[in-house]
């Protein structure tokens, strides 16, 4: 009998009972444990957030956001952006991610996210909210917890963010005049105009103290021309009249003084202008 026929004859003998007899029980148990671990590992891998499908990631993020947990929402939104950048939930997730960054005081990340949204989704149905949110982000830059607790004149801060916020709200009103966010944007713009005007007056005063009268006149004139009907207007007129008088530009000085007297007849700055001496 050759080797092939011997193998064929032995094969039927290796049934379940013979295997149990020849394989040690401990080895069988080990094999069963390893097999089970493989199954559980596969199941657990599917349950890991980094392996979730797009819709599961989005709704998990939305649930965290609705519960007030922006940290958890950001984690899911970022995963969604990485794995599904062009999926059906990508645009809305990007907008909500920008909001979460904003609420977490991560202004740079928030602006980056909202700018990407605006660039990639020019006809999105929530574009008005995108402009409004960008205005809010810029509006709150520099308003840290310490700043909120310790009262500080906002006109003393760098006006860059305030000016950007003003432009964002202005763009919202121009592009989406019927938006639900227009009323709030207009109120914020009024507040920002007052801050920007007062900042210009602060700078003009600084130049006046330094003897830089041309620079002072330019700052004051900017308020008179672009920030009318703000509380800083009368002081700007005083500075404009005084700086022109020192520069011996008497006609311009008289014009500024006349506007001041006409609109603010009891303002103490009128006597200041009259007492200003030309050296």
Least confident of 26-35, 83-92, 241-250: 26-35
CATH number at residue 91: 1.25.40.10
Least confident of 21-30, 78-87, 186-195, 225-234: 21-30
User: Taking 50 as the threshold, does the pLDDT of residue 20 lie above it?
Assistant: no
Please tell me the total number of residues recorded for the chain in this structure: 279
User: Taking 50 as the threshold, does the pLDDT of residue 145 lie above it?
Assistant: no
| Residue-level pLDDT at 200 | 96
pLDDT tens digits for range 36-91:
554 444 556 556 566 678 888 898 888 988 888 888 899 989 999 889 988 899 99
| Residue-level pLDDT at 24 | 52
Q: How far is CA 66 from the centre of its chain?
A: 19
pLDDT tens digits for range 260-273:
999 999 999 999 99
Q: Is 90 exposed, middle or buried (0-12, 13-18, 19+ CB in 10 A)?
A: buried
pTM above 0.85, yes or no: no
The answer as to whether 246 is a domain residue is: no
Instruction: Report d(CA 96, CA 179) in Å as an integer.
Output: 19
Confidence of residue 22 (pLDDT cuts 50, 70, 90): very low
Domain count for the chain = 1
In this prediction, residues 122-142 reach a mean pLDDT of: 94
The answer as to whether 61 is a domain residue is: yes
The answer as to whether 73 is a domain residue is: yes
The answer as to whether 243 is a domain residue is: no
The answer as to whether 266 is a domain residue is: no
Name residues whose C-beta falls within 8 Å of residue 28's C-beta, 6 or more positions apart in sequence.
20
String of DSSP letters for 191-213: HHHHHHHHHHHHHHHHHHHHT-H
In this prediction, residues 241-254 reach a mean pLDDT of: 95
Domain residues for 86? Answer: 48-124
Do 171 and 182 meet the contact criterion of CB atoms below 8 Å apart?
no
The answer as to whether 117 is a domain residue is: yes
């Amino acid at each position: 009998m050759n080797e092939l026929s011997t193998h064929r004859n032995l094969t039927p003998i290796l049934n379940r009972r013979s295997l149990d007899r020849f394989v040690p029980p401990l080895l069988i148990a080990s094999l069963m444990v390893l097999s089970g671990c493989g199954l559980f590992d596969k199941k657990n891998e599917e349950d890991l957030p980094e392996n979730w499908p797009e819709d599961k990631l989005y709704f998990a993020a939305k649930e965290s956001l609705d519960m007030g947990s922006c940290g958890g929402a950001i984690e899911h939104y970022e995963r969604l952006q990485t794995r599904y950048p062009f999926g059906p939930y990508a645009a809305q997730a990007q907008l909500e991610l920008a909001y979460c960054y904003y609420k977490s005081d991560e202004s740079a990340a928030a602006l980056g996210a909202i700018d990407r949204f605006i660039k990639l989704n020019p006809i999105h149905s929530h574009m008005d909210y995108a402009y409004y949110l960008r205005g809010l982000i810029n509006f709150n830059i520099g308003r840290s917890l310490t700043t909120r607790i310790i009262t500080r004149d906002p006109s003393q801060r760098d006006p860059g963010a305030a000016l950007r916020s003003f432009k964002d709200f202005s763009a919202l009103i121009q592009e989406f005049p019927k938006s639900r966010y227009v009323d709030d944007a207009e109120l914020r713009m009024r507040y920002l105009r007052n801050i920007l005007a007062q900042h210009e007056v602060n700078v003009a005063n600084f130049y006046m103290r330094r003897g830089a009268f041309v620079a002072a006149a330019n700052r004051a004139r900017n308020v008179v021309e672009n920030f009318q009907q703000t509380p800083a207007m009368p002081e700007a007129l005083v500075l404009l009249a005084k700086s022109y008088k020192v520069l011996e530009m008497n006609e311009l000085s008289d014009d500024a003084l006349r506007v001041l007297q006409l609109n603010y007849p009891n303002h103490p700055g009128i006597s200041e202008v009259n007492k200003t001496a030309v050296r």
